[in-house]
Structure 1
């Protein structure tokens, strides 16, 4: 029977090519969207799930409280490492992962050193490799711990740096000697090679060094009050340990150390364990992770995919019922010769199944074409054929065929019931489906379809408006025509940087040049504490720090509210922002000038107060910050006033190459860096825009079906009106009027729904745009124009037919 169903279904679709094509296109687009959503969602949720016993791995996060200022940090205090490793039997292994270790890495080949560009080094302990899985090409996970100065590098880095024998090759790195207050070099020997990190991992390192051997050189203080997001601990619970009880015991143990510490500053600190599978979505503790995804945006993606799927199903229903009159005689004859209704339902569901499965197969190849545009948006780590990628994943088959069955029933059951329910007498007289209830259902479905499409376009316009707002907001400093790059460290770096700064300032197009310790705006935090007197009592302040030279403030056009920048000959001086001035009790900026703060056992005097500015993305509120004077920093900034920015930058970089004898510098434009902070919003608007277009296109197919149905139902009325003198334009306008009214009906439903979702999404931003009447009117206008354009041609065709043809057929 099934074979006959499918054979008959294929023949029927072959006879009704227009119907089959329109339905196939709608289902194809709908299934392509669902598969794209499946690809993105499964990729984002697969991060680091491939590690053995991933469900038993956690990260220690710290909730630090600095006199009421709360800061969430993915790092842990340094002394916690020894305690967790020795005191808690519930922990099977403890992994230590220290990022940004040392700097300015160089490879040694043929006795000469050359720079390793953009390395990703990390210091680890032995337990790290007992927790996280790596594929070792040469050597093993313990090789770097078995020889002095051992180091492991990735396969791609080994191929890039060395030809032939890699084991035993040398690389070096610069570290800062805090006692001598100077940079020194450390030589390492390659002891192992590991395979490159998978695309779906947040542990992107290509150099591993043993932590215990070099902890004295890594700059991490062994005190409870020292906290760095780079120093991360990953406990792995024992297989027999109850997860909930184990986590509670570990957290209570850590928090007890804080409460009993001699440092009263950390008594209110707390630690929490975060499951490994949640780390990729961590926007609280991992705020500066540039690759993190957000569960909110993934939820939006799933919602959008669901909307497009519903639109495709509605489109199928409308088209199927609209073309039902063309199959009326077929149904009538089958019923007369004795076909039971259940067989007719099965027949029509078989046709739907053929269309859905064909659309599903074609959608895989459609995504193959879309992937080059989709991949860069979500940084999908997929190389080669997408079809091969899908077919290599067992869960895909369950998803795909399960979805085909569900979509077949969702889209086909109602049309099958309608078609199989024709009265044989009416069907043979070609008058099926003339009851008003069927038309009400079809109109209602179109309203739902338009409503969902309007919500999508509202979301697209809102995200675009918020992104534009973030990019055009006044940051409080000048970032136009401004760039920077990092200088290498070395024994003569300070003198060379001073020379470079003076030479660059002589260029006619340069307004200012400066050296500093870190970029003016970034996602990372560098926090410090200081003591000061307030109302006759000693108090503590907690703030960000950026060590800078005197030219830094003019380089970025910062506005002084009181005082001025420090002079080159001054020492232990600093500039603060107005938020910090208020925090230390200054009623106005002038009162802060001359005040003293004690930091790192030194007394610093405030020389000036600058207006508050955004030194972090607009996802964060403005905080207190101080700028201690520093004669040299690795970050070299420059600001131009004229000329071609790229050409000017090349000349400045050329000077740096000559002085520092470096082959290449990676330059950054401050404006581009600022724009890069909102990557998730950019992803969202691109995907929303693509899916909105597809949803409207599918909606257009559904409208074509409904116009065809209405034209068939009203063919006699249209012909009589034409005979009595109605023009084509008048009849066309009459048909279009109904659809425009459907749009306004959909707007009544869509606008409140969109406002609720829009306000909820905007609430995630401390600085946000308003929704405004303009977006609402824009959504309605776009929908009206789209609907009018879609139905005009079909309506015009129906109105232009010869009235005699329709009246004669009656």
Structure 2
């Protein structure tokens, strides 16, 4: 039989057309000839895509998943990396931060209030210096009588120079109005909320009970800025509300909310300022022996530094970027593997092309165009999917990424580059394999014999399996660590506790007493406690401790909490020595934890009873010891802590309720709270949910890992299914002969399984050490960490093997059950 007898008629027609164009190219214009060639490439590409519809569906599905995931991750990374990049002088903006070392290193984003004024006067380093004191969510009252409305708005006391440092433009008014007490500025969004029917400019409102005038309106702050405040009150009002904290004498007080921002002069090096700050403290700080250190933090570091109230670390972002790369790699590997697997069906076509004069470049271009068309089609589907899921994406990531990001040039360049690179890679490998062979070898089936030993595909399969195993293992370890951190023994009760806000008032004693008494009488309420904060909370205070009349230089830092007598029973803190606190509004006794005992080298809880701690220069006796409890997350160790009673420091009310009566008792709690505070806005939270919020960044990382691990597994299974499908077609004669000779279904399935099991074992040997190494690095951020052992990889490996074998079996069983006579006749 002649060579041409083995070639499909369509392929012969393509070759004849191509030959005709080559022969008669001198009779038509050159550019017309080039256009004909290009159109022919696309026509051929469309025909091949349509002919191999099953592989087209697999490739397009895999690429759509990969492209969509990569696009979402790019939007997330670009959003975080763009924080505060819109300020013209962003490279000269810094925040002064604090660090103390009294046995334990503590870092604060705040500074003593006098730092700003003293720094401005002491050195010519800064063009502008501004203090800002956060005021939390302020209660804003608009109108009177029946028209009165209540709002909660995030606020801060700010100096006018704050708006000379940051680029937050005014719509009405200017920053100078903040130099006058009683003035405030507000964002346009909040102004419209307060006065939807009229202009808010010049109006007066009550803010936390004080009458203030809206003297300026700002453009809405962009979501990608660290300074998310909506209402700015004159710093002169801070001096009225908190006279001591706002004075030039409050050097010993450090609050995370009192922050100092500086705009350095052009040409000033930040390291030179850091070198001058120790001398600055010696000159201005009243306590010459203080352990306080000051340093400059660049504006671009604020969002990424978790030591100073940052939101996410850059290494976590790069981890997400790696996940996106893995997803794209998996989709690309599928595409390349399926393309190379199809070469067996394209050899004769290529042989005819080469025999009729096609160059190697033309053959490679043909494969590139086919890959490009599939990539572009997948891109369109991905963009549709991304647009539809964008709101869910923001909810999932707790971000405010604008959909407009999809039309900006960074995203467009990323997408085009992604499509082009993948198309080049996918088009390169099949073309590279075919152009090496001579037409005669192709026609004689030489290539069919060589493809069975082709190593590139095995390398890619191993890489794909390694990625799947790596991500499954990492996800399992992260999940176990966070589960032990959130659900583990924290040293206190966390379920069934509702936390209510206690509004700030000058005299809280009457309202707090009334609230506790009324809540305690409700059916379904077990116990009630008024306190500064729950045992584990974002709200923590620390203080230098002088124990048992030791010299001041032997002081150390301890966590302090103002609590009432119901605190131990409400949070189930275990008293192991001594007694509970007595009721009262004066600091007359103290309870410490076990970590406090270790710090002062006391071995027995009973030995510390009766010893004293100096509070406000007054020795106060220790009357009890409780078992250790976590005041921070598992990222930090349990620190020395003590509890005392001080009613004016109570800002939270903890209510322990019967979970079975939750739906019944919550409305009763709300009604009771509103009876005590009729002019305030009611809000509550559950303690266990608040604790989860402390691990928000870690939980988000885990969710991303889970979602993208699922997608990687899905892509891996799709790829394996496609490869087995092509193996079944190529091996159908072998399968038919084996069945005729008596082979069972299990024997046929093993032909397919054994090739992949060997590759899975190699992938395991690569993925397990890598995931062990990177997870060990990640766990170093936890003071109480999971210990990684071989058992951590048993289930991930078992799951991966099971999924791959099931995927292989689905197709191989069909091949094994096929009629062998039909397969042999078709061959």
Q: TM-score, normalised by structure 2?
A: 0.90
Tell me which residue corresponds to 2:323.
304
Instruction: State yes or no: 1:95 paired with 2:111.
Output: no
Instruction: State yes or no: 1:247 paired with 2:270.
Output: yes
- 8 A contact 1:523–1:617 mirrored in 2: no
2-side partners of 1:769 and 1:783: how far apart? 23
2-side partners of 1:280 and 1:567: how far apart? 43
- 8 A contact 1:41–1:298 mirrored in 2: yes
State the secondary structure of the residue aligned to 2:303.
helix
- 8 A contact 2:79–2:401 mirrored in 1: no
Tell me which residue corresponds to 2:215.
191
Instruction: State yes or no: 1:11 paired with 2:47.
Output: yes
Task: Summarize the alignment of residues 125-274 of structure 1 with structure 2, pairs less than 5 Å apart.
Answer: 125-145=159-179, 147-162=180-195, 163-174=197-208, 185-218=209-242, 219-220=245-246, 222-239=249-266, 241-242=267-268, 246-260=269-283, 263-264=286-287, 266-274=289-297
State the secondary structure of the residue aligned to 1:142.
helix
- 8 A contact 1:517–1:548 mirrored in 2: yes
Post-superposition CA distance 1:548-577 (Å, at most 9, x none)? 122222221111121111222575222222
Out of 629, 632, 637, the position equivalent to 1:616 is 632
- 8 A contact 2:95–2:261 mirrored in 1: yes
State the secondary structure of the residue aligned to 1:480.
coil
Alpha carbons of 1:800 and 1:590: their partners in 2 closer, same or farther (altered >3 Å)?
A: same
Instruction: State yes or no: 1:465 paired with 2:465.
Output: no
Q: Cα RMSD between the aligned structures?
A: 2.5
Tell me which residue corresponds to 2:101.
65
1-side partners of 2:553 and 2:821: how far apart? 99
2-side partners of 1:198 and 1:523: how far apart? 25
Tell me which residue corresponds to 1:366.
385
State the secondary structure of the residue aligned to 1:380.
coil
Return 298-307 or 268-277, whichever deviates more. Answer: 268-277
1-side partners of 2:251 and 2:512: how far apart? 36
1-side partners of 2:112 and 2:630: how far apart? 28
2-side partners of 1:474 and 1:113: how far apart? 49
1-side partners of 2:138 and 2:227: how far apart? 20
Return 226-235 or 421-430, whichever deviates more. Answer: 421-430
- 8 A contact 2:140–2:152 mirrored in 1: no
State the secondary structure of the residue aligned to 1:367.
helix
Instruction: State yes or no: 1:354 paired with 2:388.
Output: no
State the secondary structure of the residue aligned to 1:281.
coil
- 8 A contact 2:535–2:629 mirrored in 1: no
Q: TM-score, normalised by structure 1?
A: 0.92
1-side partners of 2:43 and 2:62: how far apart? 23
**Offset, 1:712:** 4.0
State the secondary structure of the residue aligned to 2:153.
coil
2-side partners of 1:685 and 1:746: how far apart? 23
- 8 A contact 1:109–1:170 mirrored in 2: no
Instruction: State yes or no: 1:753 paired with 2:770.
Output: yes
1-side partners of 2:826 and 2:542: how far apart? 84
2-side partners of 1:17 and 1:748: how far apart? 36
2-side partners of 1:553 and 1:238: how far apart? 53
Instruction: State yes or no: 1:52 paired with 2:88.
Output: yes
Alpha carbons of 1:559 and 1:150: their partners in 2 closer, same or farther (altered >3 Å)?
A: same
Aligned length, in residue pairs: 785
**Offset, 1:131:** 1.3
2-side partners of 1:428 and 1:797: how far apart? 31
- 8 A contact 2:205–2:212 mirrored in 1: yes
Alpha carbons of 1:449 and 1:64: their partners in 2 closer, same or farther (altered >3 Å)?
A: same
Return 412-421 or 477-486, whichever deviates more. Answer: 412-421
2-side partners of 1:747 and 1:738: how far apart? 15
State the secondary structure of the residue aligned to 2:175.
coil
1-side partners of 2:110 and 2:507: how far apart? 33
2-side partners of 1:744 and 1:62: how far apart? 52
2-side partners of 1:706 and 1:167: how far apart? 68
1-side partners of 2:324 and 2:448: how far apart? 32
Instruction: State yes or no: 1:572 paired with 2:566.
Output: no
2-side partners of 1:337 and 1:554: how far apart? 90
Alpha carbons of 1:112 and 1:57: their partners in 2 closer, same or farther (altered >3 Å)?
A: farther
Post-superposition CA distance 1:559-618 (Å, at most 9, x none)? 112111122257522222222234345332212222222222333222212111012222
1-side partners of 2:99 and 2:507: how far apart? 40
2-side partners of 1:730 and 1:364: how far apart? 45
- 8 A contact 2:590–2:644 mirrored in 1: yes
Instruction: State yes or no: 1:379 paired with 2:403.
Output: no
State the secondary structure of the residue aligned to 1:152.
strand
Post-superposition CA distance 1:383-429 (Å, at most 9, x none)? 5xx4x4311x1222222222222222223211221233444234335
2-side partners of 1:474 and 1:114: how far apart? 46
Post-superposition CA distance 1:500-557 (Å, at most 9, x none)? 2112222342222121223332124311124333578984232121111222222211
Tell me which residue corresponds to 1:789.
806
**Offset, 1:437:** 6.7
1-side partners of 2:284 and 2:183: how far apart? 36
Return 475-484 or 253-262, whichever deviates more. Answer: 253-262
1-side partners of 2:138 and 2:508: how far apart? 12
State the secondary structure of the residue aligned to 2:297.
strand
Return 508-517 or 614-623, whichever deviates more. Answer: 508-517
**Offset, 1:748:** 1.8
- 8 A contact 1:572–1:603 mirrored in 2: no
Alpha carbons of 1:557 and 1:793: their partners in 2 closer, same or farther (altered >3 Å)?
A: closer
Please list every run of 5 or more consecutive structure 2 residues that lacks an aligned counterpart in the other structure.
Answer: 1-33
Alpha carbons of 1:65 and 1:451: their partners in 2 closer, same or farther (altered >3 Å)?
A: same
Alpha carbons of 1:333 and 1:104: their partners in 2 closer, same or farther (altered >3 Å)?
A: closer
**Offset, 1:808:** 4.1
Instruction: State yes or no: 1:742 paired with 2:759.
Output: yes
1-side partners of 2:659 and 2:57: how far apart? 58
Tell me which residue corresponds to 1:179.
none
- 8 A contact 1:23–1:355 mirrored in 2: yes
Alpha carbons of 1:536 and 1:779: their partners in 2 closer, same or farther (altered >3 Å)?
A: closer
Alpha carbons of 1:647 and 1:265: their partners in 2 closer, same or farther (altered >3 Å)?
A: farther
2-side partners of 1:409 and 1:85: how far apart? 58
2-side partners of 1:522 and 1:76: how far apart? 21
1-side partners of 2:416 and 2:647: how far apart? 66
State the secondary structure of the residue aligned to 1:543.
strand
- 8 A contact 1:484–1:670 mirrored in 2: yes
**Offset, 1:46:** 1.1
- 8 A contact 2:602–2:608 mirrored in 1: yes
Instruction: State yes or no: 1:599 paired with 2:615.
Output: yes
2-side partners of 1:536 and 1:487: how far apart? 38
1-side partners of 2:356 and 2:508: how far apart? 96
- 8 A contact 1:520–1:615 mirrored in 2: yes
Instruction: State yes or no: 1:31 paired with 2:67.
Output: yes
Alpha carbons of 1:33 and 1:538: their partners in 2 closer, same or farther (altered >3 Å)?
A: closer
Return 363-372 or 1-10, whichever deviates more. Answer: 1-10
Instruction: State yes or no: 1:667 paired with 2:684.
Output: yes
